[in-house]
Amino acid sequence: MKLLFLLCCSMVYCMGNAQLYQLAVNVTDPRHNPVPDAQLRIADHKTHVVTDAGGTGLFKELLPGTYYLHVFREGYQPFTKKIAITTHDRSIVVTLQPEAGLLQEVQVNNTTARQRKNQEQLNLEIIKSDFIQKNLGGSLLQSLERLPGVKTISIGSGQSKPLLRGLGFNRVAVIDGYIKHEGQQWGADHGLEIDQFAVEELEILKGAASFAYGSDAIAGAINIKHPVPPAPRSLGGNVNLIGKTNNALYGGSLELHGRTQKWFGTGRITFQDYADYRVPADSLYVYDYPVQLYRHHLRNTAGRELNGHLTTGYISGRFKSVFDITNIYNKSGFFANAHGLEPRNVNTAIHDADSRDILMPYQQVNHFKLINRSHFMIHHHVITMAAGYQNNHRREYNHYVTHGYMPAVYPDTMTIPVNLERAFRKNTYSLNAKDMIAFGNHELEFGFNSEIQKNTINGWSFLVPAFDQKSIGVFIYDKIHLTDRTLLHGALRYDHTGIRIHDYTDWFPSPVAENGDTSAIHISRAGNTNRDFNSITGSIGINHNRKHLSLKANIGKSYRVPIAKELAANGVNYHYFSYEKGNAALDPEASYQIDASAVLDQNRWQVQLSPFFNYFPNYIYLNPTPDHDYLYGAGNQVFEYRQSRVMRYGAELQITYRLLKNLSAEFLGEYLYSRQLSGNKKGYTLPFSPAPTALMNLTFQPIKTAPFHQTYFSVDYRLSAPQNNIVPPEKKTKGFTVLNIQAGTRFIIGKQQARLSLQLQNAFNTRYMVHTSFYRLIGLPEPGRNLILSLKIPFNFLNHKEQ
């Protein structure tokens, strides 16, 4: 008892003796406006403080020592800083960087972007809507192709799929508002159903990103950030108009938004209509068959797009909940003279009468999405939850053409419409949650992702059976601030996926010879199959940031679950003259990758080098065999899914040099090498390996151009080396050079700043082919000269306090 009393006395004595100090924290945004309602926390200190209307929060009684201060505010990136309290009261200013949107410029020297990149474990590029508008392509992905390490597999003028460092299809996860975008990932002949006008900011993560995003992110992820809600007590919108000469595209996007203090709503409608695109050629050869092009038009590549978005939500200092409803609709034709690779006879009189009509073959895609995202801040926790429903419906229409043993005349007893070649319908339900806690020098995140998919098929042609898929993943991630300059990352994840494949039997009989007798049999293409996959992935990374230099290294294991097509395809893909045969015994694909990056940022110079090395013990690829299959393959070459060891390495290099105050030069280069180390294609590369490319840019930004602002003139000179490193059934692709010109400015309309941008793509109408194009195999050139004009005019009905 005495001892306890003494102890208490001594403690009181000590406390009385130790001086307590105040820490005043003033939180502002990058424009130096105060940020109220921000949560300030000092680890190991029981109280947490919320900033007042002036953006100030006060910790009253702090013992001398070193503390980690964490600052959280909805709409801003979390902030952590080491603070030393020594012998006097302190007052510090913290500048929070918005999550997206508020800062419009995309430049490498943008401090927000740099800070974000410096904090991130993987190689990260941040793209803002300005970049997209400046480099607007036929689709979102085509607009991003300027970036090193980003390529697309394109079909026609409006459809493309991402390729990150040469890996694509379902090896890149696309995340839209914290929910994985689930389209028909496996095919090359359709795009990503994302409205590029609705994207305010997106992040491209290159590298083994499965630990953060699960299966499919084995090569990286494209993370589409949700737009920041409009400012309080505002009512306004913007209109975006676009026109392109190559395919006579016209379109527009209208956005309206409004917010009371806590409730907000935005709506957007986007419309695009385009004609057949033009190539710098009069005639083409599909195999040896000559195809005459009418006025350089690639017959039947016209299309249209209609998208609608509705967002509504509630925001307070500690809670935010947002509902998004999106519907993306697209109808586009396929080049009529070659459906896939098959030379087709077409009625040129009908096709050439109108370049805007969409005749057979064509596809129709509708993607509906309903997502809710909620954020809470409770004590030391920042909790994010997202629930989503997606419906993707893709239909491919074509004249009924008999192949193999299909009946010569389509039976009228069939319930499948006569022109419906294939259809896929995917229903996806997702639920994700994560919690972030900051303590000491740690920022700890843990959570789960779960998803249920139901896939059904339709059409008279068969390739992939219907299937159901369930997956769940749990992860933990810690970011440790070792010092102010050094960050350590560690992540661990476990995933389970179950796939249930449904049986399928041909609707028509084929003659099967057995013991000398030939009988007509409806062939069974797929049986009921169940597969379960488990994977553990993880990564360790380090960042070291100095004033002019940022270094990053990361080593990680990523994985991908085989998709239904790889497991159970068993049909003829007439578009490729191939019989594709799945392999039910495939293992989940694993990838080990080392990434590094070094960024040097000095007055005039910015240099970024990002090399990587990647090893797959079991890469899944479609192997063309020497065999032809008479029964299941109707005489076509057999392509089987196999696994092989694969080694890949490469690097991207970005250099920016400011020559004068208003003149800067840029170099963007990428190199990639891949090689199969085992299996039937040992020694060969991987399919769709991009050729080494370089882009040289010169940008002139005159300073005094009033009444115009931020005017730029810019020239991109793109060079591509030949790609002679090929694998069956590819063809070698020659190198090329293409010149693109961009110009743009801003001016005031009413009280708002309108933005005008102009692009001349393929200025010299060069005839060239890109190795990763879907149509490369039949030698279709890339689009010819294209002038793109885009205008964005914001408007405001209610004047709120200027930001």
Partner 1 sequence: MKYNQFLKMTLAVALCGSLITGCSKDNDTKTDTEYPVIDVTTSDAFPKQCSELRRGTAFSAKIIVSDNAELGSVSIDIHHNFDHHTHSTELDDCGLDALKTPVNPFTLIKSFPIPAGNKNHMVSEEIQVPATIDPGDYHFMIRATDREGWQTIKGLSIKIK
Query: Rounded to whole angstroms, how far apart are CA atoms 109 and 131?
Result: 14
Q: What is the closest distance, in whole angstroms, from the C-beta atom of residue 126 to partner 1 in the complex?
A: 22
Shortest distance in whole angstroms from residue 344 CB to partner 1 = 6
Closest CB to partner 1 among residues 129, 606: 606
Q: Which residue, 230 or 650, has its beta carbon nearer to partner 1?
A: 650
Residues 651/612, Cβ–Cβ less than 8 Å: yes
Place of tokens 């476990």: 494
Q: Does 401 bind partner 1 (CB under 8 A)?
A: yes
Q: Which stretch binds partner 1 (CB under 8 A): 24-32, 563-571, 598-606, 741-749?
A: 598-606
Matching residue, tokens 């885009």: 790
Q: Is 283 in the site for partner 1 (CB under 8 A)?
A: no
In the three-class reduction of DSSP (H, G, I as helix; E, B as strand; rest coil), residue 117 is classed as: helix
What tokens does 656 get? Answer: 């920016």
Determine the straight-line distance between the first and last CA of the chain, rounded to whole angstroms. Answer: 62
Using the minimum distance from each CB to partner 1, give the nearer residue, 103 or 596.
596
The interface with partner 1 within residues 415-444 (CB under 8 A) comprises: none
> ∠ CA(196), CA(197), CA(201), 5° rounding?
75
Q: Closer to partner 1 at the Cβ: 41 or 117?
A: 117
Contact between 381 and partner 1 by CB under 8 A: the answer reads: no
For residue 774, the 8-state DSSP code is G
Q: Which is nearer to partner 1, 353 or 513 (CB)?
A: 513
Q: Any contact of residue 343 with partner 1 (CB under 8 A)? A: yes
CB half-sphere exposure, 635, CA atoms < 13 A: 4
Measure the CA–CA gap between 126 and 100, rounded to whole angstroms. 10
In the numeric block, the tokens 């110009």 are attached to: 743
- Residue 532: CB atoms within 10 A of its CB come to 11
CB of 634 to partner 1, least distance (A): 6
Which one of 600, 698, 769, 787 is in contact with partner 1 (CB under 8 A)?
Answer: 600
Residue numbers 535-574 binding partner 1 by CB under 8 A: 548-549
Q: Which is nearer to partner 1, 494 or 673 (CB)?
A: 673
Residue 509 as a binder of partner 1 (CB under 8 A): the answer is no
Handedness of CA 539, 374, 77, 327 (dihedral sign): positive
Tell me the one-letter amino acid at 423. A
Position 344 contacts partner 1 (CB under 8 A): yes
User: Per CB under 8 A, which of residues 619..678 are in contact with partner 1?
Assistant: 623-630, 634-637, 649-651, 653, 671, 673, 675
CB 48 within 8 A of CB 58: no
- Cα separation, 154 vs 161, in Å, equals 6
Q: Which range in 131-139, 402-410, 454-462, 748-756 contacts partner 1 by CB under 8 A?
A: 402-410
DSSP string, 264-314: EEEEEEEEEEE---B-S-SEEEETTEEEEPGGGB-TT--EEEEEEEEEEEE
Find out whether 63 and 85 touch, Cβ atoms under 8 Å: yes
Q: Interface with partner 1 includes 517 (CB under 8 A)?
A: no
| Cβ atoms < 10 Å from Cβ of 89 | 13
Kindly state whether residue 507 participates in binding partner 1, applying the rule CB under 8 A: no
Q: How far is the CB of 513 from partner 1 (least distance, A)?
A: 11
Q: Are 717 and 739 in contact (CB under 8 A)?
A: yes
**Interface with partner 1: number of residues (CB under 8 A):** 58
Query: Which residue has tokens 């077409």?
Result: 346
Q: By CB under 8 A, tell whether 411 contacts partner 1.
A: no
Is position 348 an interface residue for partner 1 (rule: CB under 8 A)? no
SS3 category, 143 = helix
Q: Tell me the longest C-alpha to C-alpha distance in the chain.
A: 108
By CB under 8 A, residue 252 contacts partner 1: no
- The answer to the question of residue 148 lying near partner 1 (CB under 8 A) is no
Pair of tokens at residue 725: 């490193």
| 361 prior amide bond cis, ω within 30 | yes
With binding defined as CB under 8 A, does residue 165 bind partner 1?
A: no
Interface with partner 1 includes 617 (CB under 8 A)? no
Note whether 399 binds partner 1 by CB under 8 A: yes
The binder of partner 1 chosen from 34, 252, 498, 728 (CB under 8 A)? 728
For residue 289, state whether it binds partner 1 (rule: CB under 8 A): yes
Q: How far is the CB of 626 from partner 1 (least distance, A)?
A: 2
Give least dist CB 637 to partner 1, A: 5
Determine if 577 is a binding residue for partner 1 (CB under 8 A). Answer: yes
Binding site for partner 1 (CB under 8 A): 286-290, 342-345, 399, 401-405, 408-409, 548-549, 577, 598, 600, 602, 607, 609, 611, 623-630, 634-637, 649-651, 653, 671, 673, 675, 680-681, 683-685, 692, 724-729, 732
